[in-house]
Structure formats: C-alpha cells, structure tokens
C-alpha cells in the first residue's frame, strides 16, 4: 500500500531536484580485471573463465585459493587449509569465510559488511572446536596489508 505512494513522491522529488541525482563512480583503477576475492578454487576458475580473463592456476588441486594479478591476468595460488589450524580469511567474502571457519568448528561472529579485513585469531594459530572468532568486514577494496585483530 505504501509503495505506490513512495514511488509517486520519489518521482516528483527527482523531477524538481535534479541536483540529488548522483553520477555513477568512475573506475579509477583502470584495470581490465575486476576485484576478485579469495575463495573456492572451482568457483573462482569458473567466474574468471566466464568473464574471459586469463587465469593461471598454480594451486594444484587445492580447494581454497587466493588470487593475485600478473601481466597475463589472474594467478590462483593455493591457500593451505589444515584442520585445527586457523586459516587466513582476510580477502574473502562473508560467505566463503563463514563456511571455511565453521567447517573448522569455530563459532563465527561477524562485524561489518563487504570483504574480511581482520580476524581475531591470527592465521596459523592452533584452534579448538567451538572457539569463538570475530571477523571484521569492510566495504570497498581490500587494504594493501590486511591486518589481524
């Protein structure tokens, strides 16, 4: 019931106030390769191949990979995941990070949205089942040196 009224008001507002229309942000990176997050090897291979971007898989048969760029396109590097050892989830999206951490038996608390930029347990630390871990996410591109909390 409220939707038609809201639409009418918003249409009128845009008609009388063209200054509130914001242009789309310009691509300042000038990169032919979109921002790619770490995740499952099969999914990343399919996504990059579908976009027609050159991909070199240096991960062997690793299930989890982290992308890197070189002159030929995207290089997928293996992310070593071992049971009982805290993985590095910085650079991953929420879905992949939560899936990976919960499969390790951890209780995950999420702060923010976007890409994981911090984790409360440093990568490589021995972990036990039901250990709580906090992951902090940030919208936008990943900082040059993601940090652990």
Give the domain range for residue 48: 28-80
Q: Does residue 58 sit in the same domain as residue 103?
A: no
Q: Does residue 87 sit in the same domain as residue 147?
A: yes
Answer whether residue 73 is part of any domain: yes
Q: Does residue 137 sit in the same domain as residue 118?
A: yes
How far, in Å, CA of 37 to CA of 43, rounded?
A: 11
Q: Does residue 67 sit in the same domain as residue 93?
A: no
pLDDT (0 to 100) of residue 95: 92
Q: What percent of the chain has pLDDT above 70?
A: 84
How far, in Å, CA of 46 to CA of 44, rounded?
A: 5
CA atoms lying within 13 Å on the CB side of residue 23: 3
How far, in Å, CA of 118 to CA of 112, rounded?
A: 11
Q: Does residue 98 sit in the same domain as residue 72?
A: no
Number of domains in the chain: 2
Q: Does residue 89 sit in the same domain as residue 148?
A: yes
| Averaged pLDDT for residues 27-47 | 75
Give backbone dihedrals phi and psi of 134, rounded to 5 degrees, phi first.
Answer: -105, 130
């Amino acid at each position: 019931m409220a939707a038609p009224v809201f639409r009418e008001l918003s249409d009128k507002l845009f008609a009388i106030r063209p200054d509130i229309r914001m242009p789309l942000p310009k691509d300042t990176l000038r990169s032919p390769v979109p921002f790619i997050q770490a995740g499952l090897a099969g999914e990343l291979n399919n996504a990059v191949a579908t976009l027609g971007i050159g991909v070199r898989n240096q991960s062997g048969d690793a299930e989890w990979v982290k992308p890197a760029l070189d002159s030929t396109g995207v290089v997928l590097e293996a992310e070593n995941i071992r049971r009982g050892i805290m993985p590095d989830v910085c650079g991953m999206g929420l879905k992949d990070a939560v899936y990976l951490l919960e499969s390790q038996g951890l209780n995950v608390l999420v702060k923010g949205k976007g890409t994981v930029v911090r984790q409360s347990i440093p990568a490589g630390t021995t972990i036990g089942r039901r250990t709580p871990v906090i992951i902090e996410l940030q919208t936008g591109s990943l900082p040059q040196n993601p940090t652990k909390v």
